[in-house]
Amino acid sequence: MAEPANPAAGPVLRFSKMHGAGNDFVVLDLRGGIAAPSPEKCRALGDRHRGVGCDQILTVEDPREPGSVASYGIWNADGSPAGQCGNGARCIAAWLVRDGAAPATGAFNLDSPNGTHVVDRHDDGGVRVVMGVPEFEPERIPLRGFDAVREAYVLPVRGSIISVGAVSMGNPHALIEVDDVGTVTVELMGQGLQQHAAFPQSVNVGFAQVVARDHIRLRVYERGVGETLACGSGACAAVAILGRRGRVDREVRVSLPGGDLCIAWPADDAPMTMTGPATFVFEGEWMA
């Protein structure tokens, strides 16, 4: 017997559940000027026990720039906004192609919270996103306490002295190079860096193991979420930092717990590109 309708419930909110290499999203269509979800609604949607469950909520919105197909917003599961999400960009691109708003072949422009990105689909269903040029200047990350770019920044974190790389990919990233990502206390060190005064906007924390010059393993503890199965901007950040150190080549396979991403950085002053999967999981309706 069907449950009776709840007269106190709001309108039905239609959504798509998607993931990019395990980094999972609830996608909402807000085109036409529909208001963005409140932090409370984002937290309710992101709850894996009482809501839909996701790392981030992605909102499809009207384009901001001439020539763009659409724009998108990013909201972490804790309700906080985010400036960039590479896996999310691929999923939004695939969603727009399925919707008919973007071409099935060829490149098109997509506006993120921090700029416009060129995206295109591959024949195998993978999506390539132009992610932008890495920003290493401390004030651009932002990173306090340092007035010049360094290969590594030494910081006290929870009773230990650690060495980190730092970069912005439209959002702040710190990277710790380790011998084995499987043995790292990701949550402990991730939370310590996120709460550090050197990162006034908090930070996404990556832990990278160099396997070969064209292959690394990576785990990422994200702002507002915790450890995720994949982080596209984190993969770019890791390759950028390790590339500046001479540890990896210009094209690198990044193996994350949820799958592999291919990152290319043709030159120091060139934008990075990221290629990876974008997968539809299910369609649903949620009582807002």
Tell me which residues are annotated as active site.
Answer: 85, 231
Any idea what DSSP says for residue 79? S
Secondary structure class of 86 (helix, strand, coil): helix
109 is in an annotated binding site: no
Q: Which residues of 155-164 are buried (b: 16+ CB within 10 A; e: fewer)?
A: bebeeeebeb
204 is in an annotated binding site: yes
Query: Does residue 224 have a known ligand-binding role?
Result: no
- Report whether 87 belongs to an annotated binding site: yes
* 194 annotated among ligand-binding-site residues: no
Rounded CA-CA distance 142/138 in Å is: 6
Q: Which two tokens stand for residue 115?
A: 């700029």
Establish whether 32 is an annotated binding residue. Answer: no
23 labelled binding-site residue: yes
H-assigned helices in the chain: 39-46, 86-99, 186-194, 232-244
CA distances from 207 to 69, 164, 174 (A): 35, 10, 9
Q: Is 6 annotated as a binding residue?
A: no
Q: Are 83 and 115 in contact (CB under 8 A)?
A: no
Annotated ligand binding at 56? The verdict is yes
**Which residues carry a binding-site annotation?**
23, 56, 76, 86-87, 171, 204, 222-223, 232-233
Question: Which residues are documented as binding site for substrate?
Answer: 23, 56, 76, 86-87, 171, 204, 222-223, 232-233
